[in-house]
Structure formats: structure tokens, C-alpha cells
Structure 1
Amino acid sequence: MKPTTPIKNRDVLMNDYAMIDGLLTISEAIAIAISKNVSILVVNKRHEHDEYGMLLLSDIARKVLATDKSPERVNVYEIMIKPVMSVCPDMDIRYTARLFDQFQINKAPVIEQGNIIGFVTYDDIVIKGMVKNAI
């Protein structure tokens, strides 16, 4: 039996996200998500020593809509996730899956040399990972 080559995050990452500013209102962020057809919004760093933030549509539903707040009066920075747990592109997807399980997350940005090059999710790990393993 020949050893299999590990599948890495860079092999399964996706680029379905948009970069936004934390000072935008939730209404503006929703408009960007709709126009770009994404459900992940990455909040840009304010300076080189800052960290990325993340805003998911599910965060908006839980923290704005469910609490009856006005999307026009809430800024992204008020409800975003920050800092975001990230993974490196050359990490084996098995370790990424274990990390997700340990920290109860289901997606993370893949960061290389301080820049986001994509996102990896449980779905990507299972679906794309299995396809690559079968080839």
C-alpha cells in the first residue's frame, strides 16, 4: 500500500468571500454580500498590527435581526468576530478538521504571508478532500 500525499488547506480552499471595512453599517454589509453573492465578509485590518475580523450572515441574523436592532444603526465592528482563528495553507486538512472540532468553528481564513488567500470550511474539507483523495 503506497502512502498517500496529505491534502492541504491550499488544495481545498475557496474564494467566496468579500472584504469590507468595519465602519460600514450592517445594511451596507448586507448589500455587499448580496451583490457579490457571498455569505462570508472579511473585515479588513485597520493597520499592519491589527487582525482580520469576520462577519457571517448568521451573525447578522443572531445579533441584529433577532435582537430587533436596526441594520442602519449598527456598525460591522460592533458584531464582527475578531480576532479570527486562521489556518496556514500547508496544514493537512485532517488537522484543520481537528482544530475546527476543538474550537467549535466551521470555517477559517487561510493566511499566507499575512494575507488571506481563501477560506476553508468543513464542507470543503469533506467534499473537495474526498474528491482529491479519489484521484
Structure 2
Amino acid sequence: MNAPMKARDIMHADATCIPADETIDRAAEMMRTLDVGALPICHNDRLIGMLTDRDIVVRCIAEGHNPGRIRAGDLAKGTPRWVDADADLQQVLDVMEQNQIKRLPVIEDKRLVGMICESDLAKNVSDAKLAEFISAVSVPH
């Protein structure tokens, strides 16, 4: 019998952090270069938040802030959601669905080791579970 799939089995292991003291314009450049819509925000190699392309537009640009002056850490609000690398696939889905998030950092020994996004789930869960996930995270906040 196969062992249950763990977060480490489906994550992208090459997650790139943006330092908390880096500017938002630099974050946007990193997102373009990496072709991602979100970056984990780290301070001393510890996850302190997530920065999305939507955060840049809504919480920086639309509010009239200069993206060359605002720091990624300034937009890190609340406690970031994450899972341990050994969390099983159902735990991953539960955290993402309950918090209506589409990207989930994976932590091991208090360090970021990867990210899980919708495309990772699409490759690793049944169509029914994927439909349930999409329905759960797509509900307006």
C-alpha cells in the first residue's frame, strides 16, 4: 500500500523569498522574472508573510504609495498560514480551504522549504477534490 502523500511530495521546492526590507517595486520585478503571483516575505530566513500581485496593486499603488519606498514587510499583515513539510495532503487542502488561500508555504525546521499552489494540487488530487478546493477558495471573503 502506498504511503499517504505529504506536502513535501507535491510542493515546489524552489520558493524564493523576498526580504522584508526589500521595496515593492523590486518585489514586482521579482514576480515578473520568476513568473509568479506571490512571494513569501522573509526576515532572517523566517516566514513573516506573503506578498501577492494584488497586494501590490490594491494596498500600495491604489492607495497612492510609492512602490520604491514601501517595503515588503510593510504589507505583511497578520500571521501567515503554512503547513509542515510532513503534513498530509488532506491537511494541506484543509488549511487552504479554511483560509481561502491559493498558495501555501511549506515549512521544515522553522525554515521555508517550498510552496504549494493550485497547479500542484491539480496534479495530485482527484478531480472531485480539486473541484471542492476551487469552490471553497473562490467564495468571496
The two structures share one fold, judged by TM-score above 0.5: yes
What is the TM-score with the length of structure 2 in the denominator? 0.74
Deviation at 1:26, TM superposition (A): 0.8
- The aligned residue for residue 111 of structure 2 is 115
- The aligned residue for residue 100 of structure 1 is 96
Q: Secondary structure at the match of 1:10?
A: helix
- The aligned residue for residue 133 of structure 1 is none
Deviation at 1:113, TM superposition (A): 1.0
- The aligned residue for residue 78 of structure 1 is 74
- The aligned residue for residue 48 of structure 2 is 52
Matched-pair identity in %: 25
Letter in 2 for 1:119: M
On the 8 A contact 1:52/1:84 being kept in 2, the answer is yes
Q: Secondary structure at the match of 1:110?
A: strand
- The aligned residue for residue 129 of structure 2 is none
Deviation at 1:118, TM superposition (A): 0.4
Q: Could you give the per-residue CA deviations for residues 41-62 of structure 1, whole angstroms, max 9, x where no partner exists?
A: 2222248xx6532211121122
Segment drifting more, 20-29 vs 51-60: 51-60
Whether 2:20 is the aligned partner of 1:22: answer yes
- Runs (4 or more) in structure 1 with deviation over 6 Å come to none
Paired positions, count: 127
What is the TM-score with the length of structure 1 in the denominator? 0.77
Q: 2:6 aligned to 1, 5, 8, which one? A: 8
Change (3 A) 1:10 1:129: farther
Change (3 A) 1:81 1:15: farther
Q: Could you give the per-residue CA deviations for residues 53-75 of structure 1, whole angstroms, max 9, x where no partner exists?
A: 22111211221123232212222
For structure 1, list consecutive stretches of 5 or more residues without a partner in the other structure: 131-135
